[in-house]
Amino acid sequence: MTIKHLLAYGILISAFTTISAHAENAAPEQQVTVTGSASVNAVPDVIQLSFQINEKGPLLTKMKALVDQNTSRLLKDLLDRGIAEEDIQSYRLQVHPNYEYNGQRQEQKGFTLSRQINVVLRQPDQFDQVIDNALARGVTQVSNISYQLSNPEQLYQQALLAAFAQAREKATQMAEQADTKLGLATNIEELTGGQHSAPIQAEMRIQQSPSLPGQESIEATIRVTFNLNQK
């Protein structure tokens, strides 16, 4: 290797050493970390409820025929109203013996045969008529009534965007107080997973006056880190 090559190689090493030392001595980048929270309110637009068809008596065959008949009438009415099959869930028959006490003795007195049908109403204005017709077709109990949102994920995404906007606004104000300029977001952490208030629930064994579902609030919280740049 010639002296000329050695000199060039030495200059190259010196340059890399200078760059490395400069990188090590460089001041750490200024950053600010803030949290942002937001909520989106919406009126539930879906109703979930359960129908119970019960028959009591000593003869299971006769009771089953009555339960099957009432179930068929109910299902036909629901389908005729445009409720989709996937929004109707009919469970198997359940049989429970009935007991009575005669003095200190327990005696069996027939059976209770029942079937539960769960329904999702995507048109809440059908609620009153659906209940009326269900009770007229042999339904003995209506329960587990709850109001739900049909698009919670979409609403949560809206809340996330609003939470980021709030976080950015907070960070901008802090940057101004520190006489710096807000830079790019370097890290975004989601602190919630689509939390929302519990749905309003009620139970009814006989028909009641209509109730208002109120609103549900879907909340989102994030943590964001921004760079701070010199003005």
Dihedral of alpha carbons 78, 84, 87, 92, sign:
positive
**pLDDT for the residue 9:** 43
Element (H, E) at 48: strand 46-57
> Which residues does 119 contact at the CB level (< 8 Å), separation at least 6?
48, 49, 50, 51, 78, 83, 87, 88, 89, 130
**Spatial distance between the Cα atoms of 193 and 90, rounded to a whole number of angstroms:** 32
Tokens of residue 154, six digits: 């979409």
Checking if the pLDDT of 81 tops 70, the result is yes
**In this predicted model, which residue has the larger pLDDT, 17 or 120?**
120
Domain boundaries, the chain: 26-43+152-230, 47-148
Average pLDDT score over residue span 18-39: 71
**pLDDT for the residue 132:** 95
Give the CATH fold of the 47-148 domain.
Alpha-Beta Plaits (3.30.70)
> Which residues does 196 contact at the CB level (< 8 Å), separation at least 6?
149, 152, 156, 216, 217, 218, 219
Residues 204-226 have pLDDT tens digits of 333 344 455 678 899 999 999 99
Average pLDDT score over residue span 110-123: 96
Residues 173-200 have pLDDT tens digits of 999 999 999 999 999 999 986 555 444 3
- Could you tell me the pLDDT band of residue 110, with boundaries at 50, 70 and 90? very high
- Could you tell me the pLDDT band of residue 59, with boundaries at 50, 70 and 90? very high
Give the CATH fold of the 26-43+152-230 domain.
Translation Initiation Factor IF3 (3.30.110)
pTM (predicted TM-score): 0.66
